[in-house]
């Protein structure tokens, strides 16, 4: 599921953020859980759905502006 390179990258990110090293196994398990969570909750939005959302925001006065970075 995760390559050696991805596991090492996760370990590096974890250490940089939390200041703590984790084992390869911990990194693999956490990374796999994160990927599974994203698979369960992420759904791409079509351009048509995005336009509907923007129209609904205009109608309701929602001023949320997505970050374009």
Q: Examine the pLDDT at 65 and tell me if it is beyond 90.
A: no
What is the rounded CA–CA span in Å between residue 53 and residue 38?
22
User: CA geometry: angle at 39 spanning 52 and 12, to 5°?
Assistant: 115
SS3 category, 8:
helix
pLDDT of residue 12: 98
Residues 21-62 pLDDT 10s = 999 999 999 999 999 999 999 988 999 999 999 999 999 988
């Amino acid at each position: 599921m995760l390559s050696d390179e991805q596991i090492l990258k996760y370990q590096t990110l974890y250490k940089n953020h939390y200041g703590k090293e984790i084992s390869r196994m911990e990194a693999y398990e956490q990374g796999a859980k994160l990927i599974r969570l994203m698979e369960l909750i992420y759904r791409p939005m079509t351009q048509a759905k995005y336009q509907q959302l923007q129209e609904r925001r205009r109608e309701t006065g929602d001023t949320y502006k997505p970050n374009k970075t």
